[in-house]
Amino acid sequence: MRKTILIAAVCGLFLPVLSASAQDKINFEKQIYPFIKSGCVKCHRPEHENPDRPGRKVKPKGGYVLTNKEGIMAAEGEDGAGKFIVPGKPDESLMLQVTKSPLDDENHYPPEGDAPQWTDAEKELFAKWIAEGADFGTWTTDPDPLTYPEWDGKEKAAGTTETAK
């Protein structure tokens, strides 16, 4: 009886810690994909018909499709530059490296003026998500991969996902 009570008490001590860590885990679909979609999907979405030139197909830039888990995890840089995402290793993840590189670096993405730049907070969150193991949860694909948020050319306000007014 005493052993049962002791075991229950010990388990009770650790239960809040387990619950808190599960709550703190980054949710890819809600916290990461929105800024991937706004900053990357305009150029890196599945092949589709060009609305301005019917009958012509538009291929994803560089061949990278970033609207589904498979495409994100399969993406690799040119000439062996590395995988876009290396779970558990943010410093080896090319996608994080190119968003953190200086704006005038030819390898910086997204190119200045093409899409909103990721904020420092988004880059930190992305690095943390990769460090946690790059868990996509139940997300596998964007239900509407050919659309992306319209961008008015204004940068996001520092530390937010909202554009500056």
Low-confidence ranges of the chain (pLDDT < 50): 4, 6, 8-20, 157-165
Euclidean distance between CA atoms 118 and 92, whole angstroms: 18
Residue that has been written with the tokens 């007014």 in this structure:
165
Predicted local distance difference test score (pLDDT) of residue 112: 87
Predicted local distance difference test score (pLDDT) of residue 157: 41
Residue type, 42: K
Predicted local distance difference test score (pLDDT) of residue 164: 38
Euclidean distance between CA atoms 55 and 161, whole angstroms: 36
Cβ neighbours around 87 below 10 Å, total: 16
Predicted local distance difference test score (pLDDT) of residue 51: 83
Predicted local distance difference test score (pLDDT) of residue 114: 86
Which secondary structure element, helix H or strand E, spans residue 20, and what is its range? helix 2-24
Predicted local distance difference test score (pLDDT) of residue 129: 99
Predicted local distance difference test score (pLDDT) of residue 3: 54
What is the pTM (predicted TM-score) of this model?
A: 0.77
Euclidean distance between CA atoms 128 and 89, whole angstroms: 10
Contact assessment for residue 155 and residue 117, using Cβ atoms and an 8 Å cutoff: yes
Contact assessment for residue 38 and residue 115, using Cβ atoms and an 8 Å cutoff: yes
Predicted local distance difference test score (pLDDT) of residue 104: 92
Which secondary structure element, helix H or strand E, spans residue 120, and what is its range? helix 120-131
Residue that has been written with the tokens 């888990």 in this structure:
69
DSSP string over 52-114:
TSTT-EEPPGGG---SBHHHHHH-B-GGG--BS--TT-GGG-HHHHHHHS-TTSTT-SSPTTT
Predicted local distance difference test score (pLDDT) of residue 135: 98
Which residue from 48, 97, 100 is spatially nearest to 77, judged by alpha carbons? 97
Predicted local distance difference test score (pLDDT) of residue 98: 94
